[in-house]
Amino acid sequence: MDYKGLAQEILRHVGGKENIVSLVHCATRLRFKLKDNALADAGLKNNPGVIMVVESGGQFQVVIGNHVHDVYTAVCQAAGISEEATPQEGQGEKSNLLNRLIDIVSAIFTPFLGVMAASGILKGMLALSVVCGWLNTESATYKIWFAASDSLFYFFPLVLGYTAGKKFGGSPFLTMAIGGALTHPLITQALEVTAQPERFLGIPVTFINYSSSVIPIIFAAWASCWLEKRCNRIFPSAMKNFFTPLVCLGVVVPLTFLIIGPAATWLSQMLAYGYQAIYAFAPWLAGTVMGAIWQICVIFGLHWGLVPIMINNLSVLGYDTLMPLLLPAVMGQVGAALGVFLSTRDAKLKVLSGSAVTAGIFGITEPAVYGVTLPNRRPFIFGCIAGGIGGAIVGFSQSNLYSFGLASIFSLAQMLPPGGMNSTVWGAIIGTGLSLVLACGLTWAFGLPRSAQSASLPTAIAGDEDILAPMSGTVLAMDRVPDATFAGGLLGKGAAIIPLNNEVRAPFYGEVASLFQTRHAIGLLSDSGIEVLIHIGIDTVKLDGQYFTAHVHPGDKIKPGDLLIEFDREAILAAGYDLATPVIISNSDDYRDVTRVTQQSTINSGTPFLAVER
List active site positions.
26, 535
Contacts of residue 267, Cβ cutoff 8 Å, sequence gap at least 6: 215
Among candidate residues 445, 412, 448, the one with its CA nearest the CA of residue 428:
412
| Cα–Cα distance, 194 to 174 (Å, whole number) | 28
Do 323 and 363 touch, CB atoms closer than 8 A? no
| Under 8 Å between Cβ of 515 and 532 | no
The alpha carbon of 472 is separated from its chain's Cα centroid by a whole number of angstroms, namely 38
- Are 158 and 112 in contact by the 8 Å Cβ rule? The answer is no
How many of the other CB atoms lie within 10 Å of CB of 1?
12
In the DSSP assignment, the letter for residue 504 is E
Three-state secondary structure call for residue 612: strand
The per-residue DSSP string of 41-81 comes to -GGGGGSTT--EEEEETTEEEEE--TTHHHHHHHHHHHHT-
Separation in Å, CA 168 to CA 161, 177, 224, 226, 301: 10, 15, 9, 8, 21
Q: Identify how many contiguous H helices and E strands the chain contains and give both numbers.
A: 23, 20
3-state helix, strand, coil in the chain (%, to 5): 55, 15, 30
Q: Residue 394 and residue 286: Cα distance in Å, rounded?
A: 10
Measured over the CA atoms of residue 61, residue 63, residue 66 and residue 67, the dihedral's sign is: negative
CB 596 within 8 A of CB 469: no
**Hey, what amino acid is at 461?**
I
For 267-309, what is the HEC assignment? HHHHHHHHHHHHHHHCHHHHHHHHHHHHHHHHHCCHHHHCHHH
Residues 6 or more apart from 14 whose CB is under 8 A from it? 20, 32, 34, 39, 40, 41, 44, 60, 62
